Amino acid sequence: MTLPGEPIESPCTLCADAPRQILSARDRRGAPLLTAICRRCGLVSHADIPTEEALRAFYAQRYRAEYHGEVTPSPKRVRRAWRQGERLLARLGPRLAPGARVHEFGAGIGCTVKVFERAGFDATGVEPGLGFQRFAEARLRARVRCATLDEPAADDHPADLGLLVHVIEHLRDPVASLETIRDRLAPDGLLYVECPNLEAPFARFGRMFHEAHIYNFTAATLDAAAAVAGLSLAEPMSGPRDENLARLYRPAAPAAVEDAIDPGAYARTTHAVRRLNVVTYHLRPRYLRTRARKIGERATEAATARRWLARLERAVAADAAPG
């Protein structure tokens, strides 16, 4: 039985160093899952990275049902996703020229794509989960294809803004995927990346790791992966204690691994993930404020989400009507 602290010989995806060190032996549900940290660059990932074929099958058939509890999204989920799209539009829309091309890699149910489209942008996306992609296309009339981000693009038009929102942690090879995305950006384009922040932390230690999140990033390891892929940091859009990382990148010359990695990342990450226990994590003022806000929002949405979705569907149908 492999225990936390033991070495594992498989090399790091980012810096190719080995051995790595086991950080955790269980997932958030208590099931066996080895999670490792690289002692050189600090990247945290599954000890054993699944094959591309296994990942395709998992996301096409199991992910939405197992981790979201649904294959077709509920009205509550649609409303939350729409609010996220509105948040991203408010944050990123002012940086774009009218009619700019926006492309979301991992578009989910298409809410963000549709929010940007209704604001006047040329918005498209790809989503590998068939049930969610069908909802995006049929119910929201969003231009979302059923495809992975590694599949050939539908056209040759580069994106002025790429969106990678809570997707990078699911990818088998983040650096290779970021390289693919960089090549689909306009020379002066931007890429917005958002994912859980391992240093925040986004959960207490025993609840951090699960099968669907192959990688767990800090600001240092996300910036390093981007730099190696040819993306430089244009603006950090989150703080060190925010539960989600939010970073804006622009195309650049790829950096050498030794120049991109932060030698202090390993020590900071191992300290961060262990510093809070079940009591101190839940008694943080930030956590209590966030929980209170979410409870209030969900009490309201439970009563109103179905009617809200019906109004939205009528609105997007009217948008698409000729004349």
Query: Per-domain residue ranges for the chain?
Result: 57-319
> Could you name the CATH architecture of 57-319?
3-Layer(aba) Sandwich (3.40)
Distance CA 116, CA 160 (A): 13
pLDDT tens, N- to C-terminus, the chain (323 residues): 566 778 888 899 999 988 899 999 999 888 999 999 999 999 999 999 999 888 888 877 777 667 666 778 899 999 999 999 999 999 999 999 999 999 999 999 999 999 999 999 999 999 988 889 999 999 999 999 999 888 888 787 899 999 999 999 999 999 999 999 999 999 999 999 999 999 987 677 777 898 899 999 999 999 999 999 999 999 999 999 899 999 999 999 999 999 999 999 999 999 988 887 777 777 777 777 877 887 777 777 777 999 999 999 999 999 988 86
In 3-state terms, what secondary structure has residue 229?
helix
Q: How far is CA 268 from the centre of its chain?
A: 22
Distance CA 45, CA 49 (A): 8
Distance CA 173, CA 87 (A): 28
**Rounded-to-5 percentages of helix, strand, coil across the chain:** 40, 20, 40
Distance CA 305, CA 301 (A): 5
* 209, 33 contact by CB (below 8 A): yes
State how beta strands 231-236 and 244-251 pair: antiparallel
